[in-house]
Amino acid sequence: MKNKQETERLTEATFNSLDNLQQVEANEFLYAKIKNRMRANEQRERVVYNRLMVKLSVAAGLLICINGVSFYALQHRDNKGVKAKTTASAASFAEEYSLKDNSYNY
């Protein structure tokens, strides 16, 4: 192990070397480089966001168009056949369960 005097000498040498250190100076263009990178990242994020919004808008528009076409098609189809079929179905249901007459069969 090192003795106490050698340890103190090394400690003093370390403190003296710290006094002689000079402060590091940054590159003049460092701030400009950092701001440029930040702007580039911001632009990329905007492009991605805009593309996403366009895709969502197109999807919403297609959904509205499909709903409109479906509504139009349902309004203008032949309702007579549907009503007659429904009436016939209701009549056959009433006949099957004896709902037409007022007699009670217990």
d(CA 46, CA 54): 12
CA distance 30 to 56: 39
Q: How close are the terminal C-alpha atoms of the chain, in Å?
A: 113
Quick one: tokens of 51?
């593309």
Which whole-number Å values give the CA distances from 13 to 7, 16, 53, 66, in the listed order?
10, 5, 64, 82
* Residue count (the chain): 106
Q: How confident is the model at residue 102 (pLDDT cuts 50, 70, 90)?
A: low
pLDDT digits (tens, 9 = 90+) for 37-83: 999 999 999 999 999 999 999 999 999 999 999 998 888 775 555 55
Contacts of 100 (CB under 8 A, 6+ apart): 94
pTM of the entire predicted model: 0.42
